[in-house]
Amino acid sequence: MTQGSPLRLGRHEFSGEATLMMAIVNRTPDSFYDKGATWAEDKAFDRVAQVVEEGAEIVDIGGIKAAPGEFIDEDEEKRRVVSFVARVRSAFPDVVISVDTWRASVGRAVCEAGADMLNDAWGGADPELVDAAAEYDAAIVCTHTGGVTPRTRPFRIEYDDVVASAIADTTGYAARALAAGVAKESIVIDPAHDFGKNTFHSLELTRRLDEMVATGWPVLVSLSNKDFVGESLDLPVGERLTGTLAATAISALAGARIYRVHEVTETRQVVDMVNTIAGRRRPRRAIRGLA
């Protein structure tokens, strides 16, 4: 069976054949998907307990929605996530805690509270985030956004080759993280579907994801209920699960390692089935015609 590189996400290690579910936990009142369902801390904690029970290896905690909206300063972002990270760390010592932030000061605070991973959805907008990850021996996700400003929507962005741009930017970001002192096995790259991209860009990245996998860096995909799925099928948020799982299957066949998701169980089944078909994973049981 084909194996990738082992992963070390903070204090947690995974083999080269492991595929990981990263469950989204929003500490925001205005998320595009759950509309604030986990804004209250106890509701967010219940969400963590649920996804851990469903088998998520990683929880990704975010204190600011990606879309434009109310300005959230660093202090408010810390109030939303730092103490919550500490609570989750105490209750779930075996889960990887990721925090979705682009700010180095927030990164340092959450790592001090027990986070294992910094998920920078905005492509290195704060160049010191890699230093924060290195200081705490944390993992980092290096994304491609085409240089857009955090929390802005793309408008008529053009690429000569969006996949080539994604590879150049994410591997360049990975090299900066490595130079800053982040361990190689703790660096992940992400094409960042929808971020700095239109639907055609995100579709092409999905279709050619094997080219990102071929760089040798572990690839994370964040596909769940994204606009490129909604526009492809002309479906609103809340009706995009089937399309999301189709894009997930293509990404799994290409060799993606981490899946940032709202629906853990369904995504795990799709990824496991695709990897079993691809010969990377053995069936859980195989008795048909043998017993």
- CB atoms under 10 Å from CB of 237, counted, come to 15
Please identify which of the residues 47, 226, 257, 268 carries the catalytic annotation. Answer: 226
DSSP 102-162: --HHHHHHHHHHT--EEEETTSSSSTTHHHHHHHTT-EEEEE--TTPPTT----S---S-H
Quote the CA–CA distance of 126 and 141 in Å, as a whole number. Answer: 13
268 is catalytic: no
Domains of the chain: which residue ranges?
7-277
At 12 the three-state DSSP class reads strand
197 is catalytic: no
Please identify which of the residues 80, 108, 260, 268 carries the catalytic annotation. Answer: 260
- pTM of the full predicted structure? 0.96
Second CATH level (architecture) for the domain 7-277: Alpha-Beta Barrel (3.20)
Give the pLDDT score at 277. Answer: 98
Give the pLDDT score at 128. Answer: 98
| 115 backbone φψ class: left, alpha, beta (φ>0; ψ -120 to 50) | beta
pLDDT in tens, 214-262: 999 999 999 999 999 999 999 999 999 999 999 999 999 999 999 999 9
Give the pLDDT score at 36. Answer: 85
* pLDDT < 70 stretches in the chain: 1-3
Give the pLDDT score at 33. Answer: 75
Give the pLDDT score at 251. Answer: 98
Cβ–Cβ < 8 Å for 67, 32? yes
Cβ–Cβ < 8 Å for 58, 20? yes
At 117, list the tokens. 């991973």
